[in-house]
């Protein structure tokens, strides 16, 4: 055995060939890993869960689609209603800065999108100023560009609150991780028919699971619970008010 043989063997151990079964933690996957790891380690996160009776939302969506002649996603409704709740509870639209807790002046809502490249979160800017129709159009364009890998840099930054919807996968509830530097993230589950008590009778209603994760440094449990309760109420009392086709 010669010296060069030993050196060659050592080099082989030090630099093993990559296994075809191991995916590289680089690029977008690496960015996702770094951001979520940092969020989990640095932020004391709490998740609250509840169920909302989405029967009126389901009916409203059907009515609006018939009147407008376009497909309107549940996510568009959720962004619209969340923006309304954030305007009423501005501390949920905050972030931690070196100077303290800053209430963000704009309500920019990100929507988690599953793409072939990985998780992306395009942002609907000034969502509280937009109509349901405008939000729906924004989401269609943002989601398509994200799926095609054509998102503009400013479409993936500047969010102040995030919504992640796993309802299509028949998920009822989960613990979403806060998207830094935001204060909170709303996880949405599937809509499923369930027997519930209503006015002394057992009836079938369309129930939706809601999971709110928040940074406990920025907000306490009770205020966060009131915010989630408000979103639940808005879903359950969904009406045409504020859901017009045009305007803010």
Active site positions, annotated:
216
Question: CB neighbours (10 Å) of residue 28?
Answer: 13
HSE-up of residue 9 (Cα within 13 Å, Cβ side):
6
Taking residue 76's Cβ as centre, other Cβ atoms within 10 Å add up to 26
Q: Give the residue among 32, 43, 148, 56 at the shortest CA–CA distance from 96.
A: 43
* Dist CA 77 CA 135 (whole Å): 8
Q: Report which secondary-structure segment, H or E, holds 48.
A: strand 45-53
60 in Cβ contact with 238 (< 8 Å)? yes
Q: What is the Cα–Cα distance from 27 to 209, expressed in whole angstroms? A: 33
Nearest residue to 157 via CA among 125, 198, 114, 135: 125
Q: Which residues contact 21 (CB under 8 A, 6 or more apart)?
A: none
Which of 188, 179, 81 lies closest to 128 in space, CA to CA? 81
Q: What are phi and psi of 214, to 5 degrees?
A: -145, 160
Between CA 55 and CA 65 the distance in angstroms is 16
């Amino acid at each position: 055995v010669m010296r060069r043989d030993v050196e060659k063997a050592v080099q082989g151990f030090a630099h093993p060939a990559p296994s075809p079964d191991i995916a590289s933690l680089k690029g977008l996957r690496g960015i996702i890993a770094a951001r979520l790891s940092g969020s989990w380690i640095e932020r004391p996160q709490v998740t609250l869960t509840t169920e909302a009776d989405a029967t009126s939302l389901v009916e409203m969506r059907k009515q609006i689609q018939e009147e407008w002649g376009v497909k309107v996603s549940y996510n568009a409704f959720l962004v619209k209603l969340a923006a309304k709740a954030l305007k009423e509870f501005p501390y949920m639209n905050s972030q931690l800065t070196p100077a303290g807790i800053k209430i963000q002046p704009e309500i920019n809502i990100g929507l988690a999108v599953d793409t072939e490249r990985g998780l992306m979160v395009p942002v609907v800017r000034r969502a509280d100023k937009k109509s349901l129709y405008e939000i729906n159009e924004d989401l269609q364009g943002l989601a398509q560009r994200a799926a095609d890998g054509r998102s503009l840099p400013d479409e993936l930054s500047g969010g102040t609150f995030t919504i992640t919807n796993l309802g299509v996968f028949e998920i009822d509830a989960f613990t979403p991780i806060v998207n830094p530097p935001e204060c909170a993230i709303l996880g949405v589950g599937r809509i499923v028919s369930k027997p519930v008590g209503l006015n002394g009778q057992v009836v079938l209603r369309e129930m939706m699971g809601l999971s709110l994760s928040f940074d406990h440094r920025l907000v306490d449990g009770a205020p966060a619970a009131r915010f989630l309760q408000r979103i639940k109420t808005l879903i359950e009392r969904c009406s045409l008010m504020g859901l017009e086709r045009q305007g803010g």
